[in-house]
Structure 1
Amino acid sequence: MKMLKTALLLLALTFNAAASAESMNRSAEIDKIYEQDQKTRTLFKRGDVYDRPTELKSDAANRMRLFEMMADDLPWTARDFALVSRVFQHTNTGAESEENENWRSQENHLLGFFLSRKAARLGKLEEAGSMVSRIERYLKARGIPRDYGLELVSRTPFKACVINPQITDEQRLDAGLPLRLNEIMKEFCH
């Protein structure tokens, strides 16, 4: 019995050390994002010359990375992620009618994308279509051409890919889509 308790203690310490290392890496990345954000805010306050379109893209990309980290670190089930994705998808700001996509918070579409992607990673493969539709709604609301987005290639086997792989992630960023879709969809497009 004493040996079992010792083994369980060692296992708990090992798990705690691994979780701590992961937490330290995440914290370091959050610190870096925060420092970038504060550097931008300092430029605003001092009235320095800066490239505003580049800063806007950087700000959006940083928020998207934080959303992704948040979704990756939550101890939820695939079903939970799928349901929360739908909730974010239907967030109404109250400013416009439902017929107009502009009333939706665009970043909620992207958060919904990450939540659907997490649900798919956890085995809820029917969320593949949700990943695609979340990106489509974002593109529509922003007036970005659909070929900058995703398509569901097949449900069985599950495969979702960028519509036009010739469009680079930098071109997507320049168009206003703060996601590196070519990069982050590799795991689903093989």
Structure 2
Amino acid sequence: MGGSEAGDDSKPKGNRGISFLDFIMRIVAILGTLGSAIAMGTTNETLPSFEQFIRFKAEYKDLPTFTFFVVANGIVSAYLAVSLVLSILHIVMSGARITRVVLIFFDTVMMAFLTSGASAAAAIVYLAHKGNARANWIAICQQYNSFCDRASGSLVGSFIGVLVFLLLIILSALALSRN
């Protein structure tokens, strides 16, 4: 029995390390999701034309899927910023269980939300690059290079956020199992 008591005293110290890693990973996820929202939200390109009054312009707002992507990344970034408070609480109070369960729940919801936005945007970016001959959709990335490059790049930070959420959920479950 004496050995298990000594083991119980060391568990919160191990959870403190997990909590610190949780905090760092949340900051990484904020940077990824906020960067993705900003990159996609500022994506636009205007093509030169021979006519002075006719302009061909591509903006993220032209596609509702990209708008959803920006909104999803923005909401997830805000959630992550708020969740930093609980993450700091877990560093200070490594035995907190209820707040860890709350974080697991909301982290799972936000991961699903972020995954849906990133996946939908990835499908549109794929169509922009490759087109679809059966549906008679042409690939627009040959004309709108900058637009497509920024849209493609913004997906990276969002999918990094999804991966970080997966790791955060696993870390929180590990911390709960150690209590």
* TM-score (norm: length of structure 2): 0.32
- Higher percent of residues as helix: 2
* TM-score (norm: length of structure 1): 0.30
Q: Which one has more relative contact order, counting CA pairs under 8 Å at least 6 apart?
A: 2
Pair member with larger Rg: 2
